[in-house]
Amino acid sequence: MKRSTRPLKISQKQRKTYNSERQYDFPSRLLKPVRGKPKFDQVMAELTELPCGAEPLAELDYADELALKRVALEEFSRQHNLPKFNDIIASPMPRFYRTTTKRRVVFAPRSRPRLAFGDERPSGGYSLLEPESHAYIYEGVEYMLRSASARKFADSLTHIILRGSYDEHCLIFNTARRSAALTKLLLDWSKEIAAEIPALVSALEFLDDSRSDYYLDAEAKTARGAWKRLFGSGKFSVPVGSFAFQASAKVFSQVNQSMLPVITSEVARLLRPEGRPLIDLFCGYGLFALSLAAGSGRVTGIEYDADAIILARRNAERLGVENARFFRRFINDETFAELLPFGRTGEIFILDPPRNGVGSEITAAIAQRKPRRIAHIFCNIEEIPSAVADWQLQGYKTSVLVPLDMFAGTPAVETIALLDPV
């Protein structure tokens, strides 16, 4: 099933030029004028016809995709008066890399139940961004959904989610109601699939009676009794260079595991810890804090997710990191005053917030401490223009913008902004 797209016209000579890390000269005459200040995906849509769906660039040659994103970044920078982006850093695995995937459960009258992608493709449609083992697991779940025993639970299942690493998967059943009979059925399904696919090491049931359109809805995740273990622990190992972190299906983890050594080393290169105090905000299970701990002074990780903080502390202990401590707190000026010594100089900060970014009150609270350098990570490129303006108001200039192709095959780019005092 070939999706239609108008591919970029890039010659073999031009592709070799781009792959040799010299600047790719995309003809500016191909850019159409865009009214106002466009979003990044709108800029890309002006360069080539993007098919519908969650992975519109997946069938492009990867060199063509990188070339397209490079030009889009240049135009996005120009439209929003941003500093010029560095060359985009390619993904070691541009396809079949996603460690978090999902399907929506669809029960329609007079038809068999099925699983669907978020963009309405049937589950049988392939994905070039997901590991092959994920497709096999979803096929198994869809087959079992069509059994007679599943019919009475037709309106109870909303999403099927897979989370984990390339070697260990956790299957999550997102349900709108819970019963002993349904839980037993899901356990039987999970064990039957695990017998065929050894990479499936755990399964969980997640209750969200709001029937949210969002799988693993953030508010429902913290509700008492939301999670029920079917088998296994729900935890998995994430190798990053010489480290092996423990993560969990309940806690945020980056979707492209192959990029983790790249992004951690890039943050270290930009921040240059050199023994300085390091503060990691939205620290999760400790990825950045612990990766940079050896070159830093005292390391402080702050995160509100209780499960993430437990993992971060255990990871520090398992990895033998003694100069890091982790706290479950809201991120604000009161937390800084409580946890961080007053008047300390030379601090460096890492921010890796959720997709909707951080408010100006957080940037102000950080700026009041006069840190030496700040690495602000954006998983949503649309947040960059307003954040850059906020930091400027607080006396910090954006010295470098480093794009990373964390979401290869999609019109999205992860970006590290390095901020220095003006």
Last residue of a domain, one of 237, 272, 292: 237
The confidence score (pLDDT) of residue 404 equals 98
The confidence score (pLDDT) of residue 7 equals 41
CA gap 345, 50 in Å, rounded: 48
Point out the residues of the chain with pLDDT beneath 70: 1-36, 119-125
Nearest to 406 by CA among 415, 398, 393: 415
Summarised one tens digit per residue, pLDDT across range 379-410 is 999 999 999 999 999 999 999 999 999 999 99
Q: Please check whether residues 170 and 317 belong to one and the same domain.
A: no
The confidence score (pLDDT) of residue 8 equals 45
- Domains of the chain: total: 3
Decide if 247 is inside a domain: no
DSSP helix/strand/coil, 114: strand
Q: Please check whether residues 159 and 187 belong to one and the same domain.
A: yes
Decide if 173 is inside a domain: yes
CB 59 within 8 A of CB 400: no
Last residue of a domain, one of 79, 109, 129: 79
Q: Please check whether residues 230 and 272 belong to one and the same domain.
A: no
CATH number of the structural domain spanning residue 209: 2.40.50.1070
Structural domain span for residue 383: 256-421
Which one-letter DSSP state was computed for residue 377?
E
Q: Please check whether residues 190 and 276 belong to one and the same domain.
A: no
Q: Please check whether residues 192 and 281 belong to one and the same domain.
A: no
Q: Please check whether residues 344 and 412 belong to one and the same domain.
A: yes
Decide if 94 is inside a domain: no
Q: Please check whether residues 416 and 269 belong to one and the same domain.
A: yes
Other beta carbons within 10 Å of 112: 10
Decide if 251 is inside a domain: no
Decide if 68 is inside a domain: yes
Summarised one tens digit per residue, pLDDT across range 332-356 is 999 999 999 988 899 999 999 998 8
Q: Please check whether residues 140 and 231 belong to one and the same domain.
A: yes
The confidence score (pLDDT) of residue 244 equals 96
Summarised one tens digit per residue, pLDDT across range 55-94 is 889 999 999 999 999 999 999 999 999 999 999 999 999 9
Q: Please check whether residues 217 and 112 belong to one and the same domain.
A: yes
Decide if 318 is inside a domain: yes
The confidence score (pLDDT) of residue 119 equals 56
Q: Please check whether residues 415 and 266 belong to one and the same domain.
A: yes
Decide if 39 is inside a domain: yes
Last residue of a domain, one of 191, 210, 237: 237
Helix (H) or strand (E) holding 175: strand 169-175
The answer for residues whose C-beta is within 8 angstroms of residue 19's C-beta and 6 or more apart is 63
Decide if 120 is inside a domain: yes
The confidence score (pLDDT) of residue 153 equals 87
Q: Please check whether residues 289 and 387 belong to one and the same domain.
A: yes
The confidence score (pLDDT) of residue 34 equals 43
Q: Please check whether residues 324 and 366 belong to one and the same domain.
A: yes
DSSP letters spanning 191-209? HHHHHH-TTEEEEEEEE-T
